[in-house]
Structure 1
Amino acid sequence: MADITRRFGWRHLRGAPTAHVRHHRSGRLLHDGPGLSFWYRALSAALSEVPVDDRELAMTFHARTSDFQDVSVQATVTYRISDTALAAGRLDFSIDPDTGVWRGAPLEQLGTLLTETAQQHALDVLARTSLAAALVDGVAAVRERIAGGLAAEPRLPATGIEVVAARVVALRPEPEVERALRTPAREQIQQDADKATYERRAVAVERERAIAENELASQIELARREEQLVDQRGTNARREAEEHAAADAVRAGAEAARTVRLADAEAARTVRLAGAEAQAAREVGEARAAAQDAWLRVHAEVPVGTLNALTGTRLAENLPRIGSVTVSPDVLTGLLAQLGAGTVESTLDCPSGRESA
């Protein structure tokens, strides 16, 4: 929009570089070009401002495919006004000399023209295309058809409009149909995901089986080594027992030999002691016999009175110790009788066989 200022009944217009301004007064063109700046009187000036920059026109419309499915087309058309004189003569680009605002809606007219033209060509393409084909290749086909149709449209050059590019952003069916179309793909994706999950589980199971086999092989190897260890321990224990048995046999033989030697020595010593004791006993017997013989000879030669005296002495030696004795006549008579009897027995025991009264 042009920048207009007021000064003492005059107006000053300052245009932008992207806006082409045309100033007419009394039917004559006084100013024509982009980015102009000039003074004018509001009552006698006829002003028009035509944009010359590239503009984007977004459009959305519905179409029907060959299988009677409704689709929505989102497209964008880039255009510019290449001939400002034609555009200003065909469309109302006049502005208010006091405010600089367009009196009409020229850009809306351009948008309607471009949208209806593009929609006509898109409908023509989609009406001969099924929904599945439209969703697969429809975007490119619709874009090419819209670009070609707009380029071949005779009204656009006659209006001074040049189409720069045409783009189709999206081609989408109704939400229910779109969900229905997504279902097989989702199912396929889910199947692929499940397959990947099963394959991953299978790989995990295979790895677990390999790990279990390794563990089992390790346990088998460990058991085999334990068996070898038990066998070796048994061999060592048997060898140790044999060694102990041999050592015990040697020890027992040595003990037996020692016992035999000790027994022989003890027997020899016993024999020697027995011989010595026998000799000593024989000698003692001979000595006793000699003493007895001498004793008998002595007693045979001793008088009887002496023997009685000795008998009384021995008897006194063998009697118990008496502190005081009271002798009555009866006791004395009996004692003398026993004494006389003891004397007779002593005389009978003499070896010479003599008797004494």
Structure 2
Amino acid sequence: MAEIRRFGLVRHLRSTPTEHVVHQRGDRVVNSGTSCSFWFRPLTAALSEVPVDDRELPLLFHARTGDFQKVAVQATVTYRFADPEQVAGRIDFAIDTATGRWRSAPLDQVAHLLTETAQQHAADLLVTTAMADALGAGATAIRERLRTGLVGDARLGDTGIVVLDVRVVAVRPDPDIERALQTPARELIQEEADRATYERRAHAVERERAISENELQSKIELAAREERLVAQHGANERRRATEEAAAARIAAAAEAERIGLAAAAEADRVRQTGTAAADAEAARMAVLSELDHGTLLALALRDLAGGLPEIGTVNVTPDLLTSVLAKLTDGAAR
């Protein structure tokens, strides 16, 4: 946007490199160009400002295909104003002499012109094209048709507008038709996804089976080892019991032999002791049989005295002594 300053009854304008300013007084062009600077009188000056940079215009319009289906075309048109003075003479780019702003909306008018022209060329192409072809390779055909049509359009050339490039972003049908067309591909993708899922599950089941088999094999191996361990433990216990029984038998035999030897020794001792006692008693009786009565009486008294308890004092009277001697004599005579 041009910069306008006020100095009394005159004003000064300074434009930018991307804006072409046309200064007219009456039907005569006084100043014209980009990056220009000049003085003017607002009462007699008519100013127009035309952008000369490349501009992008997004387009969205609808058309009908040859099989009576509606499609939406989304495109972008790149254009510029090749002859600013010619454009200013065909489209109102006049600016306010006080603010430097456009008095109308000239770019909207240009956008309307380009949109309708592009829509007309696209409609002429799509009306002879089936929807499937339009959705498939239609974007390239529409782009070439729009570029050819807009570049060679006489009205745009007379206006001073040059189309530099055309890009078709998308060609889309109605949502219902689009969903219907997407269904086969979605079903195919879903089938592939299901197949991948089934394969993954089958692989998982196979891996689980392998793991189960390995676990079962490990359990079988552990059971076999445990069986061998139990058998070995039983054999060890049997061997230990056999050894203990053998040791017990040996110990019992030894003890019995010891007891027998001890008993034999004790019997022999008793027998020898009895024999010795009998021999001694026989010898004693033989000796006693040869003694006289008095000697026997004396020995009897000695033995009797040895068997009596200890007596501190004994008083022997003649009567007591006489009775005792008489009993002893009677006993000896019997």
Q: Which has the larger radius of gyration?
A: 1
Question: In the alignment, which residue of structure 1 is the partner of 2:66?
Answer: 66
Whole-Å Cα distance in 2 between the matches of residues 284 and 143 of structure 1?
A: 165
1:46-65 → structure 2 map (5 Å cutoff): 46-65=46-65
1:1-357 → structure 2 map (5 Å cutoff): 1-103=1-103, 105-286=105-286, 289=289, 294=293, 313-314=323-324, 350=333
Per the alignment, do residues 235 and 99 of structure 1 end up closer, same or farther by CA in structure 2, a change over 3 Å counting? closer
State the Cα distance separating 1:256 from its structure 2 match: 3.1
State the Cα distance separating 1:262 from its structure 2 match: 2.0
Q: RMSD value over aligned CA atoms?
A: 3.4
Whole-Å Cα distance in 1 between the matches of residues 129 and 327 of structure 2?
A: 170
Per the alignment, do residues 18 and 251 of structure 1 end up closer, same or farther by CA in structure 2, a change over 3 Å counting? same
Give CA deviations for 1:2-33 in whole Å, capped at 9, x if unaligned: 33333332232222221112223343332121
Whole-Å Cα distance in 2 between the matches of residues 53 and 147 of structure 1?
A: 19
Whole-Å Cα distance in 1 between the matches of residues 47 and 276 of structure 2?
A: 177
Whole-Å Cα distance in 2 between the matches of residues 5 and 80 of structure 1?
A: 28
Moved more, 216-225 or 246-255: 246-255
Per the alignment, do residues 288 and 181 of structure 1 end up closer, same or farther by CA in structure 2, a change over 3 Å counting? farther
Per the alignment, do residues 279 and 125 of structure 1 end up closer, same or farther by CA in structure 2, a change over 3 Å counting? farther
SS at match of 1:66: coil
State the Cα distance separating 1:86 from its structure 2 match: 2.8
Whole-Å Cα distance in 2 between the matches of residues 286 and 85 of structure 1?
A: 190
TM-score (norm 1): 0.74
Whole-Å Cα distance in 1 between the matches of residues 111 and 8 of structure 2?
A: 39
SS at match of 1:67: coil
Whole-Å Cα distance in 1 between the matches of residues 217 and 47 of structure 2?
A: 99
Unaligned runs of 5+ in 2: 298-318
Whole-Å Cα distance in 2 between the matches of residues 132 and 263 of structure 1?
A: 127
Give CA deviations for 1:177-230 in whole Å, capped at 9, x if unaligned: 333334444444444444444333333333333332222222222212211211
Question: In the alignment, which residue of structure 2 is the partner of 1:304?
Answer: none
Whole-Å Cα distance in 2 between the matches of residues 286 and 200 of structure 1?
A: 125
Moved more, 135-144 or 47-56: 135-144
TM-score (norm 2): 0.79
Could you tell me which amino acid in structure 1 is paired with residue 323 of structure 2?
A: T
Moved more, 58-67 or 103-112: 103-112
SS at match of 1:42: coil
State the Cα distance separating 1:77 from its structure 2 match: 0.8
Whole-Å Cα distance in 2 between the matches of residues 24 and 219 of structure 1?
A: 105
Could you tell me which amino acid in structure 2 is paired with residue 53 of structure 1?
A: D
Moved more, 163-172 or 177-186: 177-186
SS at match of 2:75: strand
Size of the aligned set, in residue pairs, is 313
SS at match of 1:71: strand
State the Cα distance separating 1:115 from its structure 2 match: 1.0
Unaligned runs of 5+ in 1: 299-308, 319-345, 352-357
SS at match of 1:43: coil
